[in-house]
């Protein structure tokens, strides 16, 4: 199962990535979580408090694998990077990309080439659940770096701005050939909010599930980390729905 999670900043996509990763571990999967957001908070959310290498800042690695000064390898070797750079916590292996960037003229810089190649490798690697916390908004999709995912989850709230962002994300996702795009409603308090989300989603994008507002998750804003214990029942149900929609390889 290869998932990318996108949405407007503040909708709770990083929290959802962490919860889905924990639930995947609980179900016996090997799990790699990827923080592809330049404003990287996934490590903190997972409760990882030790240093993690940000791959976009590993200049020697980038120079070795990709090159520089105009001589750039378009298909660098990346298969050893997960084992070398991932940090594990509670069965979740985390990689921090540091964000995929482009030069002003749209040319891919060496760091961008390495990170995009790593994502493609992870999406093609068998026997693991890969969950990518995308940059807030649509930046990664605009560069076509998630073509290999089994599903794109677009996290929305009952807020017109988040739904407008979702519409732009869906449009770009379809342009690069993503066919399975699913919405997840987050922080819902009333049935009316769920109805508002259903009415505001782009045509052809089903609402896979909704996650109610939970006061205990506010501790993330205070301590930075998810509460200990199993994910909420709503997250467990959401993962089961994903398993039903996506053909997964046995761990």
CATH code of residue 207: 3.40.50.300
Q: Does residue 225 form part of some domain?
A: yes
Q: Does residue 250 form part of some domain?
A: no
Place of tokens 């390889």: 249
Q: Does residue 175 form part of some domain?
A: yes
Q: Inform me whether the pLDDT recorded for 103 exceeds 50.
A: no
pLDDT band at 92; cut points 50, 70, 90: very high
DSSP type of residue 226: P
Q: Does residue 13 form part of some domain?
A: yes
pLDDT band at 73; cut points 50, 70, 90: confident
Q: Does residue 218 form part of some domain?
A: yes
pLDDT of residue 116: 83
Q: Inform me whether the pLDDT recorded for 104 exceeds 70.
A: no
Q: Which domain holds residue 59?
A: 2-245
Q: Inform me whether the pLDDT recorded for 202 exceeds 80.
A: yes
pLDDT of residue 88: 95
Distance CA(86)–CA(128), nearest Å, equals 14
pLDDT of residue 106: 40
pLDDT, mean over the chain: 85
pLDDT of residue 249: 37
| Helix, strand, coil percent values for the chain (each to nearest 5) | 40, 20, 40
Count structural domains, the chain.
1
Distance CA(50)–CA(96), nearest Å, equals 13
pLDDT of residue 108: 52
Q: What is the three-class DSSP state of 61?
A: helix
pLDDT band at 250; cut points 50, 70, 90: very low
Share of the chain above pLDDT 90, in %: 54
- Cβ atoms of residues 47 and 143 within 8 Å: no
For the chain, where are the alpha helices, taking DSSP H only? 13-26, 42-46, 59-65, 81-85, 110-124, 139-142, 160-175, 191-200, 219-223, 233-245
Q: Inform me whether the pLDDT recorded for 114 exceeds 80.
A: yes
pLDDT of residue 109: 78
Radius of gyration of the chain, Cα coordinates, nearest whole angstrom: 18
- Cβ atoms of residues 24 and 129 within 8 Å: yes
Per-residue pLDDT tens digits for 152-180: 999 999 999 999 999 999 998 888 888 89
Q: Does residue 223 form part of some domain?
A: yes
Per-residue pLDDT tens digits for 29-71: 999 999 988 888 899 999 998 889 999 889 899 999 998 766 7
Strand 129-133 versus strand 2-6 pairing type: parallel
List CB contacts of 228: < 8 A, sequence separation 6 or more: none
List CB contacts of 3: < 8 A, sequence separation 6 or more: 20, 129, 130, 131, 132, 149, 150, 151, 152, 153, 242
pLDDT of residue 61: 93
Q: Does residue 251 form part of some domain?
A: no
pLDDT of residue 25: 95
Distance CA(166)–CA(170), nearest Å, equals 6
List the 151-156 sheet strands across, edge first: 87-89, 92-96, 31-35, 129-133, 2-6, 151-156, 181-188, 207-212
Q: Inform me whether the pLDDT recorded for 6 exceeds 80.
A: yes
Q: Inform me whether the pLDDT recorded for 182 exceeds 70.
A: yes
Q: Does residue 26 form part of some domain?
A: yes
Q: Inform me whether the pLDDT recorded for 209 exceeds 90.
A: yes
């Amino acid at each position: 199962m290869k998932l990318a999670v996108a949405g407007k900043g503040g909708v709770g996509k990083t929290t959802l990535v962490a919860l889905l990763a924990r639930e995947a571990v609980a179900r016996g999967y090997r799990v790699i979580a990827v923080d592809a957001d330049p404003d990287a908070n996934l490590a903190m959310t997972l409760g990882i408090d030790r240093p993690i290498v940000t791959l976009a800042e590993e200049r020697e690695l980038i120079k070795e694998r990709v090159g520089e000064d105009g001589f750039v390898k378009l298909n660098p070797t990346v298969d050893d990077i997960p084992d070398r750079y991932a940090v594990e916590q509670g069965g979740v292996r985390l990689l921090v990309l540091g964000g995929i960037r482009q030069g002003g003229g749209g040319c891919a810089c060496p760091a961008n080439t390495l990170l995009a190649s790593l994502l493609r490798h992870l999406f093609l690697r068998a026997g693991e659940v890969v969950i990518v916390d995308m940059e807030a908004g649509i930046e990664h999709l605009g560069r076509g770096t998630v073509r290999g995912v089994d599903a794109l989850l677009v996290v929305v709230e009952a807020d017109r701005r988040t739904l407008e962002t979702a519409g732009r994300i869906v449009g770009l996702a379809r342009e690069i050939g993503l066919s399975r795009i699913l919405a997840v409603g987050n922080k819902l308090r009333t049935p009316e909010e769920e109805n508002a989300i259903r009415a505001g989603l782009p045509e052809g994008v089903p609402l896979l599930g909704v996650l109610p507002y939970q006061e205990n998750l506010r501790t993330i804003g205070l301590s930075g980390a998810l509460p200990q214990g199993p994910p909420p029942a709503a997250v467990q149900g959401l993962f089961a729905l994903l398993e039903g929609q996506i053909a997964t390889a046995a761990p």
